[in-house]
Amino acid sequence: MRAASVKTPLMRAQSVTRQIGQVLIIGFDGTEMSPRLASLLTNIQPAGVILFARNITGAKQAHTLLRECQKCVATPLFTCVDLEGGTVDRFRRVIGSTPSPAEVFATGSRLLFRKYGRVIGENCRALGFNVDFAPVLDLAFEASRSVMSSRAVSDDPKQVVAYAREFLHGLGNAGVLGCGKHFPGLGEATLDTHHELPSVDKPLRKLWNDDLVPYRSLRRELPMVMVSHAAFPAVTKKRTPASLSKKWITDILRKKIGYRGLICSDDLEMGGVLAAAPIERATEQVTIGHIRAGGDLGLICHQEDFILRAHEALVREAERDGRFSRRVRESAGRVLAFKKKTFDKKSTAGRCTPAPTPARVEKLTRQLWEFGEEIRVATFAREEHA
């Protein structure tokens, strides 16, 4: 059966606008529900929302905000956050500082890798999140050290797989979905995709044996994969970001690697991807480009105006182009089917979590501090015996 023909009863009842909403995850400003935000969510009916530190002032506040978002949307929301630990930590002011991936990896303990995922997952669940855009699967090559820093754990792909597998297991035990990133790999990228378009001049054969090993090995264990905004001209013969590349998303990730989970973009407002489109319609074009290339979920994390324009552009393109309309329906169907399976009320991810009490937050803060101490002791002991 062709994936494009798979439709749920819910999907049949939805308008094309709501189907298109299922290929978007959106961010916004503010720390509480407002008429403007409620209107945005109600009109677009997105697949998910993502919160940043700017949206989070307290544990109960974040939980309440996410619950209010869900009330505006008919389907279960992906409630997303970037919580890698170290430099990427949206809960620092609420629960405390989380050790970095590199610090945890330095212990060499697979038990601690798994516990790391569980601790992060429990913190996410307590605040109402069900998706964490982690772990980072980029290899820690010297070329990207100034950009990736402690976010990447090793230049050995087998070690990255061992770490990520345990992290994902711990995250999943807490009822949180993980997302491997940044496909096909930023290990050789010398520029920050938030601001510029890096170009990695590495042939597919070397990428296959190095950077792509984590995605190949974990293809059945990754609920989601995030595609980067780096260009790989030796593979695509052009400077198109991977996030807009059918060669990377459909031909390599879907077909050659055989990945069957959800594929999302990195933030489509980043300078690295916007550089690939005409400035006057950049966000609209890159959102359409990501879905056309085979992506399931486009992330637009900041400006409401960009979100509205991208949504309208997707609707217009689906009405104009039958092939693109089928592509949207395929991804929307995949997202809805994934949600139905994942958010079953009997599953850990599907169960609602109560608003965190002060006592619960204090317990999580203590647990996080104790975990940090455990990491320091384990690293010291390993260095002593080296």
Angle formed at CA 354 by CA 350 and CA 359, multiple of 5 degrees:
135
Which one of the listed residues 138, 266, 267, 296 is annotated catalytic?
266
194 is catalytic: yes
Which one of the listed residues 194, 195, 201, 344 is annotated catalytic?
194
Using DSSP's 3-state secondary structure scheme, residue 49 falls into: strand
Closest listed residue to residue 41, CA positions, set 310, 281, 282, 304: 304
385 is catalytic: no
Using DSSP's 3-state secondary structure scheme, residue 237 falls into: coil
**Which stretches does DSSP call E strand in the chain?**
24-26, 48-51, 78-81, 83-85, 88-89, 131-132, 179-183, 224-227, 262-265, 298-300
Match 């976010």 to its residue by tokens. Answer: 151
- Residues in contact with 319: Cβ distance below 8 Å, sequence separation at least 6, in sequence order: 16, 325
- Cα–Cα distance between 211 and 204 in angstroms, integer? 10
Using DSSP's 3-state secondary structure scheme, residue 248 falls into: helix
Q: Which residues are catalytic?
A: 194, 266
